[in-house]
Amino acid sequence: MRYPEPFLAAHGYGGAERRPLAADASFRRYVRLVGGPRPALLMDAPPPEDVRPFRDLARHLLAAGLSVPEIMAEDAEAGFLLIEDFGEATHAALLDAGADPVPLYTEAAEALATLHAAPPPPGLPAWDAAAMSRATAATFLDWWWPAAFGETPAETVRRELDEAIHAMLAPFAGAQGFVHRDYFPANLMRLEERDGPRRTGILDFQDGALGHPAYDVISLVEDARRDVAPATRRAALATYLSARPGLDRGAFLGAMAACGAQRHLRVAALWVRLDRRDGKPHYLQHGPRCWALLDRSLSQPACAPLREFLDRHVPQEMRRNPPPG
C-alpha cells in the first residue's frame, strides 16, 4: 500500500489514522482515514488500474440521483483518490450477519432501475457480444481449458465459442444502456439515513460499460459469490420490472438467461485464473455455485447456442473447476 504523504497532508489527512481494508480481486487498495476533516477513504490504484473512470462515472451517477462516494480530492496521474467513506454496512456484511435479504435485494433493485433509466454517459466502452466473447475466452479458454484438459484449445474451438456467444446474444443487441458489470452485495451499501434509490450506496462502478441492463440484474439475483433464495430473487426482479414498466418482460427474461450463461461461464473460469495466475485459491470455493448457475441458464431456450457448444466439447462430468494449481 502506498501512502502519498504530501497529498494526504494537503487535504487535512496528514495525521489521520490509517486502517487498510481487505483487498479484493483487483489491484486497487483502500485505506480508511480516521481523524481527518470528515470520514474518508484513500483509493490507491497503481497501474494497470486507473482512477479516472471511477471519478468520471461517480459524477454521472451522482447527477442521476444515486448514492456513490463523493470525490473529495484526486491525484489522477499518481493513481490516488480521496473519496467519501460510506462505512462498513455492505449488503454482503449485513447478509452474513443474518439480515433479512428481501429488503436489501429490493432496495438494490430499485437503485439499479434508476441507474438503468438514466441516459448513459458518453464514451463508455462496449459490453456487447464481441466484448463478452473476448472476456469469456480470456478465462474459459485461456485458463480453465488448459487446467482441465492439459492443453490449449484448438483454433476451431475458439471460433466456435465466439460464434456461440454471438448467436446467443444477437436477439438482445438492441437494448443498450449503462451497465455496472459487478452489481452484487459486496459492492452495495445500506445507507440508513437516505431514502428511495439513494438508500443503496453503489461501489466499484469504474468498469461500467454500454450493454444490456439484464446483465446487471442477473449479477444481482444470481450472485457468483453467494446463494440467493428463489423468493428473494423473485422479489428483486418484481421490484426492478415494476420500476421499468416499459420493458418487454419476456424479452428481458430471455436476455437475463443469455447474459447469465455468459457471465457464469466466464466467472467460473475466472476463479481458476485467480488461483493459478494470482495465487488466490480461496476463490475456487465459488466454482460449484457458478457451474450450477450455468447449468440452470443453459436449460433456457435463449441459451441454446452456448449449450450446444458445451455439449460438443465439455462433457457434463467435466463441468467443474480443477483443484488448486
Same domain, 149 and 44: no
Q: Does residue 274 sit within a domain?
A: yes
Do residues 82 and 13 touch, judged by C-beta distance below 8 A?
yes
Q: Which CATH number do you get for residue 226?
A: 3.90.1200.10
Structural domain includes residue 323: no
What total of structural domains would you count in the chain?
2
Which tens digit of pLDDT belongs to each residue from 266-286? 999 999 999 999 999 999 999
Shared domain for 303 and 195, answered yes or no, is: yes
CA–CA gap between residue 261 and residue 5 (Å, rounded): 46
Q: Can you give the pLDDT at residue 84?
A: 97
* Torsions phi, psi for 80 (to 5 deg): -125, 140
> Does residue 254 sit in the same domain as residue 306?
yes
Residue 151's domain comprises 91-318
Whether 235 maps to a domain, the answer reads yes
Is the full-model pTM beyond 0.85?
yes
Q: Is residue 34 part of a domain?
A: yes
What the block records as the C-alpha cell of 281 is: 485459491
Whether 160 and 273 share a structural domain: yes
In tens, the pLDDT along 172-218 reads: 998 889 999 999 999 999 999 999 999 999 999 999 999 999 999 99
Low-confidence ranges of the chain (pLDDT < 50): none
CA distance 7 to 88: 25
Specify the CATH number for the domain of residue 14.
3.30.200.20
65: left (phi over 0), alpha (psi -120 to 50) or beta: left
